[in-house]
Amino acid sequence: MTALELKNKRILVTGGAGFLGRQVIDQLCKAGADEAKITVPRSRECDIRVWENCQRAVDQQDIIVHLAAHVGGIGLNREKPAELFYDNLIMGTQLIHAAYQAGVEKFVCVGTICAYPKFTPVPFKEDDLWNGYPEETNAPYGVAKKALLVQLQSYRQQYGFNGIYLLPVNLYGPEDNFDPRSSHVIPALIRKVHEAQINGDKQLPVWGDGSPTREFLYSEDAARGIVMGTQHYHESEPVNLGTGYEISIRDLITLICELMEFDGEIVWETDKPNGQPRRCLDTERAKQAFGFTAQVSFREGLKNTIDWYRQNAA
């Protein structure tokens, strides 16, 4: 199938005002989309948990990129599992159905790495997605998002609806969410180190024991991958977006402390949860299917993120 031409297409980007969304819009424009034809529904005026809002949002659109999610770190997942399940399922499932009914040409659903089983062979291959239940703390969110893959596959089978499902690994980058109540690991640690420096603290408490591993994808790289998938991928199978580079939380905090010049002691709070033991993706399918590989090195991306936070911390 030939590349999907973005010029003159009307594109709806849910979550388009967010951390990843702004990068996706930037990459869409670089790939030929007209910014004036990109619509970003804001949750204040257009809550897509409401069916009529979904119908209105997709009306007259050619392409839907669904990034919107109710999401956070381990803390939020433990505190609000019901909200995370309901909100993410209802937003996605209604939007897909409304898009199908409205005759939308292409639906791009951005899933989550939390959908993978807790004990998945590393690196995670897309074919292993159904080989077990997700890690308990983020299972409600992960299962809700995974249901959307089933919906897209069945709509393709029955209606010929062109929907694709992309699985980016943990994202980070400038403009990330640094709110300690809901942030993910990199922004949470950067903020922690920054505040320790301001307060003159010599000790830095960090959740868990530092043994879990994670893979991180710079937001600009993720956005490029999403747009490449939008243009060049038209299959039902899910596709990982990542770097294939795995780092332990222990090494991650060491690197952040080095880049931020913090020389205090790290105190591991081993009574706190670790989350999934290992997380690293097999990225071969994205490379084969639409030529995507990450370009920003982890050290460079981390430095950019720290610099942005320090300039905007106030």
Does 166 carry a binding-site annotation? no
CA distance 52 to 210: 46
Question: Quick check: is 141 catalytic?
Answer: yes
Return the pLDDT at 276. Answer: 74
Name the residue ranges covered by the structural domains of the chain. Answer: 11-172+216-245+279-295
91: tokens are: 């937003």
Contact 226, 166 (CB under 8 A): yes
Question: Closest by alpha carbon to 220, among 146, 134, 294?
Answer: 294
The topology under which CATH files domain 11-172+216-245+279-295 is Rossmann fold (3.40.50)
Distance between CA atoms of residues 143 and 80, nearest Å: 15
φ/ψ of 107, rounded to 5, equals -120, 125
Instruction: Please count the CA atoms within 13 angstroms of the CA of 184 that sit on its side-chain side.
Output: 18
| 31 assigned binding-site residue | no
Q: What is the pLDDT along the chain (314 residues), one digit of tens a residue?
A: 689 999 999 999 999 999 999 999 999 999 999 999 999 998 888 999 999 999 999 999 999 999 999 877 777 778 899 999 999 999 999 999 999 999 999 999 999 998 999 889 999 999 999 999 998 988 999 999 999 999 999 999 999 999 999 999 999 999 998 988 778 889 999 999 999 999 999 999 998 999 999 999 999 999 999 999 999 999 999 999 999 999 999 999 999 999 999 999 999 999 988 877 888 999 999 999 999 999 999 999 999 999 999 999 86
Does residue 130 have a known ligand-binding role?
no
In whole angstroms, how large is the CA radius of gyration of the chain? 19
207 is in an annotated binding site: yes
Q: How far apart are CA 229 and CA 239, in angstroms?
A: 9
What integer pLDDT is reported at residue 94 of this predicted model?
98
Q: pLDDT value at position 182?
A: 75
- The whole-angstrom separation of Cα 110 and Cα 119 is 22
- Supply the pLDDT for residue 52: 97
Strands 170-172 and 106-110: unpaired
The pLDDT value given to residue 250: 96
16 belongs to an annotated ligand binding site: yes
21 is in an annotated binding site: yes
Contacts of 280 (CB under 8 A, 6+ apart): 122, 123, 124, 169, 213, 214, 215, 242, 244, 245, 246
pLDDT at 239: 98
Instruction: Name the catalytic one among 141, 155, 165, 233.
Output: 141
**85 annotated ligand binder:** no
> Does the model's pTM come out above 0.85?
yes
Tell me what pLDDT residue 219 has.
Answer: 97
